[in-house]
């Protein structure tokens, strides 16, 4: 997407504090910048966000929130009540990725740690969760200072384990909507390299795809690689399955229904001259409609079993769909999108509030709206320095984005936009004219 040269980036006002609700943003920004760099330097893997959660909890306690820790793992729930009114949930994710950072930034992560498989891996905030957390803390600070401008209840949720699509479900199972106020609205955001910093997307309808993690283990009869005739080779069966799976989307799914099946991992064998007795492939499956999701999973299992039978496997393969590593479609409520869009256009400038097309990436933020019934909005937050973005677009290229070891958000402009989007949206929903 190319934007005209007249578009300006960032808050439209030269003085952010002149916008209602954002008084004090300049004053708190240095602390937010320090927090961001600390979070970026010290990332933690999914399910291990102990120190990260403690930092966020300490910040919100200092603002006057009542904070509960270790909800669904290292999740935190911070509640601030301010009279009668609706309840707004504002969520951030906290975990990082097993990626070695290559940005060359002075505050780059040099952390390595053991993962759940006891392997030593590098760790990096390569998905912008440090931006999300900093924006979340900034909004909490401004809203706590502006209690005269709103009535209702804030529920600020720090969610663990988003990268493995488990954290939202774990928090809900641990009583997020029974132990704490149930929301009338839910807000979240995610960085993107598809937009320059200072721009934000408020799309209506499906925004992020549903996701399933599927593991398939094929069984054979191992033996010497020099005498394959005495074996049943599961590597060949698995390899044929990888190819056959590609026909599901291309030949079975309606071309107007987006869907993705990717085999991202193939494990088999220990030595070149040994035919193993099993082979395992790991898949990620994406879709936007429940009926398509069901169709994809059924077709995957059908093809796996058929290829195993065709290869003479001694038993059927094991097909496991992880019930926790899954997410629903993130669907933005159209009425809520229509309500918030004019507000953000007023703040950022009309040209800087866009409706970005849905993406097949996945997010478990959708679980909060599904479980609570609350209308929700998940903003896409531009993160690429505008000059670099424009130059890349002119060359038909895309700047490094989430999950890249080179992802380096334009931090100040992106954080300020994130803080403003959260803060102004909450004030719209809880302000004097708001109603649930």
Which own/partner pairs from 107-113 qualify as long-range (CB within 8 Å, at least 24 positions apart)?
A: 107/37, 107/40, 107/41, 108/40, 108/41, 109/40, 109/41, 109/42, 109/43, 110/41, 111/41, 111/42, 111/43, 113/44, 113/45, 113/48
162 labelled catalytic: yes
Above 80 in pLDDT, residue 7?
A: no
- The active-site residue, picked from 44, 49, 93, 95, is 95
CB 397 within 8 A of CB 406: no
- Measured between alpha carbons, how far is residue 66 from residues 63, 98, 135, 157 in Å? 9, 32, 19, 12
Please, what is the average pLDDT of the chain? 93
Q: Tell me how crowded residue 272 is: count the other CB atoms within 10 A of its CB.
A: 6
**Residue 395's CB: how many other CB atoms inside 10 A?**
8
pLDDT at position 1? 25
Stated as kind and residue range, the H or E segment containing 326 is strand 318-327
State mean pLDDT over 421-426. Answer: 97
Is residue 197 within 8 Å of 386, Cβ to Cβ? yes
Lowest mean pLDDT among 1-10, 114-123, 325-334: 1-10
Please pick, among 44, 101, 162, 428, the residue that the annotation labels catalytic.
162
| Cα–Cα distance measured from residue 160 to residue 167, given in angstroms and rounded to the nearest whole number | 5
Residue 2: is its pLDDT beyond 70?
Answer: no
Model confidence at 18, pLDDT cuts 50, 70, 90, reads low
Global pTM reads 0.88
Mean of pLDDT values over 128-132? 98
Q: Note the pLDDT of residue 434.
A: 61
- CA nearest 10: which of 181, 186, 198, 248? 198
* Interval 375-409: pLDDT, tens: 999 999 999 999 999 999 999 998 999 999 999 99
d(Cα 210, Cα 135) in Å, to the nearest integer? Answer: 25
Nearest to 317 by CA among 284, 286, 277: 277
> For the segment 186-219, what is each residue's pLDDT rounded down to a tens digit?
999 999 999 999 999 999 999 999 999 999 999 9
- Furthest-apart CA pair in the chain: how many Å? 80
What domains, with CATH codes, occur in the chain?
Answer: 16-209+329-430 (3.40.630.10), 210-326 (3.30.70.360)
Catalytic residue list contains 325: no
Please count the other Cβ atoms lying within 10 Å of the Cβ belonging to residue 421.
25
């Amino acid at each position: 997407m190319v934007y005209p040269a007249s578009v300006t980036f960032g808050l439209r006002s030269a003085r952010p504090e002149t916008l209602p609700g954002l008084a004090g943003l300049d004053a708190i920004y240095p602390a937010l910048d320090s927090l961001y760099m600390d979070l970026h330097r010290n990332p933690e893997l999914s399910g291990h966000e102990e120190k990260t959660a403690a930092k966020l909890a300490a910040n919100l306690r200092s603002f006057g929130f009542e904070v509960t820790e270790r909800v669904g793992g290292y999740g935190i729930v911070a509640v601030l009540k301010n009279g009668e009114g609706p309840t707004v949930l504002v969520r951030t994710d906290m975990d990082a990725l097993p990626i070695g950072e290559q940005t060359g930034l002075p505050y780059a992560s040099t952390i390595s740690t053991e993962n759940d498989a006891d392997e030593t891996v590098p760790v990096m905030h390569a998905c912008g969760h440090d931006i999300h957390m900093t924006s979340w803390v900034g909004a909490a600070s401004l809203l706590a200072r502006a209690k005269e401008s709103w009535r209702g209840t804030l529920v600020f949720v720090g969610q663990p384990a988003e990268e493995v699509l488990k954290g939202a479900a774990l928090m809900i199972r641990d009583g997020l909507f029974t132990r704490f106020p149930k929301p009338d609205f839910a807000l979240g955001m995610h960085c993107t390299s598809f937009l320059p910093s200072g721009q934000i997307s408020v799309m209506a309808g499906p925004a992020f795809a549903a996701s399933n993690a599927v593991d398939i283990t094929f069984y054979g009869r191992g033996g010497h690689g020099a005498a394959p005739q005495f074996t049943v080779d599961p590597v060949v069966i698995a390899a044929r399955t990888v190819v056959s799976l590609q026909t599901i989307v291309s030949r079975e799914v309606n071309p107007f229904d987006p869907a993705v099946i990717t085999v991202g991992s193939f494990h088999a064998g220990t030595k070149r001259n040994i035919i193993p007795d099993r082979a395992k492939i790991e898949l990620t499956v994406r879709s936007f409609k429940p009926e398509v999701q069901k169709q994809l999973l059924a077709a995957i299992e059908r093809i796996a079993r058929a290829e195993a039978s065709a290869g003479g496997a001694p038993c059927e393969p094991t097909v496991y769909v992880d019930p926790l590593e899954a997410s629903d479609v993130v669907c933005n409520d159209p009425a809520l999108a229509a309500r918030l869009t004019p507000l953000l256009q007023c703040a950022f400038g009309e040209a800087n509030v866009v409706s970005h097309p849905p993406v097949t990436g996945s997010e478990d933020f959708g679980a909060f709206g599904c479980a609570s019934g609350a209308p929700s909005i998940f903003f896409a937050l531009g993160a690429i320095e505008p000059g670099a973005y424009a130059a890349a677009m002119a060359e038909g290229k895309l700047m490094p984005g989430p999950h890249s070891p080179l992802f380096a958000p334009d931090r100040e402009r992106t954080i300020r936009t994130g803080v403003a989007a959260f803060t102004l949206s909450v004030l719209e929903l809880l302000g004097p004219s708001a109603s649930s």
